[in-house]
Amino acid sequence: MTAKFITLEGGEGAGKTTCLKHIEKRIKEAGIDLCVTREPGGTRTGEKIREILLDRGNFDILDETELMLMFAARAQHLNELIRPTLVTDTWVLCDRFTDATYAYQGGGRGISSERIAELEQWVQQGLKPDLTLLLDLPVEMGLKRAGQRSSPDRFESENIAFMERMRSSYLEIASREPERVKIIDSSLTLENVLSQIDFVLNEILNEVDSG
């Protein structure tokens, strides 16, 4: 069996945290070993980089610095955790990965896709998720949901135009790579969202059963 690398993506307040727990449960119930992790973060060094990136006090971080910090954390994550885990036949479920960089640093900040692709190639050496679940919902609805929680971090403090560009970038990726990226309409009730997720998961879990 080849271990699968699954990522979860979406805008602010899309419900990733809520859905991640459900996906984890479903995969584990299928008897598959699973490692759950997140980006930026997932390693000791990566979590320190995350603190810098999310801290609203760091208002002076340049867009280029932000981009390279995302990939610095990712390089550490891939080498220390993701690759070593996948070779032991353990699946990896990651809360955000490089699609978030194309959406936030690319769409949101306006850094060119070519520049991001150069770093992706260098850091990932061709490794991509096998499956990505993109939780999509209108920006204002996501911000309303996110607003019910604690004070906003550096990204949650961005304006609506930034969020709209980020959402469009995610949807562009999904239309370019429909085999890998499955759109989940997360504007619906949690029950409905989870059943959309189950539909996609059943496919990958059945593949394993029959393989």
Binding site for ligand T5A (CB under 6 A): 10, 12-18, 39-40, 70, 95-96, 100-101, 104-105, 145-146, 148, 155-156, 186, 189-190, 193
Nearest residue (CB) to ligand T5A, 141 versus 208:
141
Shortest reach from residue 152's CB to ligand T5A, in Å: 8
Nearest residue (CB) to ligand T5A, 27 versus 123:
123
Question: How far is residue 76's CA from residue 55's CA, in Å, rounded to a whole number?
Answer: 20
Nearest residue (CB) to ligand T5A, 2 versus 160:
160
Sequential DSSP letters for 146-184: HHTSSS--TTTTS-HHHHHHHHHHHHHHHHH-TTTEEEE
Shortest reach from residue 199's CB to ligand T5A, in Å: 15
Residue 70 and residue 124 in contact, taking contact as beta carbons nearer than 8 Å: no
Q: What are phi and psi of 12, to 5 degrees?
A: -65, 135
Shortest reach from residue 210's CB to ligand T5A, in Å: 31
Question: What is the residue type of 128?
Answer: K
Question: How far is residue 127's CA from residue 85's CA, in Å, rounded to a whole number?
Answer: 13
Shortest reach from residue 95's CB to ligand T5A, in Å: 5
Nearest residue (CB) to ligand T5A, 195 versus 206:
195
Residue 163 and residue 139 in contact, taking contact as beta carbons nearer than 8 Å: yes
